[in-house]
Amino acid sequence: MRYMTMLTALLFAAAASADDVPGAAPAPVGVDYSQCWVELYDEPSLEGDKVRLQGPTQVAKLADHEYSNGENLNNDVRGVRSGATARVVLFGDAEFAGATYRVFPGSSTSIGSGGFGEDSSSLKLACDDPAAVSAPPPGSCWVELFDEPSLEGDKVRVEGPKSIGKLATLEYSNGENLNDDVRGVRTGAGARVELFEKADFGGDTYRVYEGTSDSISSKGFGEGASSIKISCLQ
């Protein structure tokens, strides 16, 4: 009975770590974890004190981790660097609640520059299987923007790479423009998408991983997208 209880708990933990990281399940046993890590910095320049976490993992309270100077990480993460197979989600509140901020695999970012501020209180780190990662097929760098979180109804498809400073210049088939009216997003296998709260790439950002579907309004960002950037994977 004790063995079954432990096994159930382990299976539940593995499944839970993929929440809020569409398309990225925790790496199974035997997978190379070496590039699944995240470094959290107390400076946006990615210098100074840092804490490195190995994935897959989830931290319900960043207050439980400290920099070498004794300061805990709660509301004090200003820069993030991720490993090549790491998909990171930062949450504004403890226990994986509040607004979210995603970090693409193999990237470095200054958190404050994306409008999220330093308000990180919890974190989830899921791992891609490096053996399953391959070059995206031709023609897969695109995004579909929907007026419904269910990804039904009207949509607009945009091929990347592309930056659109004003989503108000795009319209659904019903004549409504997309400014503050994007509720769902689907991306091709070769597209990474950043939605911005304000025109000309200002304000809060909301990132969507490649090859995923996402309901924007359910993650704290609301429908407040006014500009977009689409980058293509090689």
| Same-domain check for residues 33 and 128 | yes
Among residues 132, 162, 196, which one ends one of the domains? 132
Among residues 113, 132, 151, which one ends one of the domains? 132
| Same-domain check for residues 53 and 102 | yes
**CATH number of the domain residue 205 falls in:** 2.60.20.10
DSSP tally for the chain: helices H, then strands E: 1, 16
pLDDT, tens digit, for every residue of 5-33?
333 433 334 433 445 565 555 555 677 88
Total-model pTM: 0.76
| Same-domain check for residues 61 and 40 | yes
- Report the candidate in 112, 115, 102, 98 with the shortest Cα–Cα distance to residue 210: 102
Please check whether residue 193 lies inside any domain of the structure.
yes
| Same-domain check for residues 90 and 161 | no
Among residues 79, 108, 132, which one ends one of the domains? 132
pLDDT, tens digit, for every residue of 45-89?
998 899 999 999 999 999 999 999 999 999 999 999 999 999 999
Q: What is the DSSP string of 113-156?
A: GGT-TT---EEEEEE--GGG--PPPTT--EEEEESSTTS-S-EE
| Same-domain check for residues 125 and 146 | no
Q: Which domain holds residue 217?
A: 142-232
Q: How many domains does the chain have?
A: 2
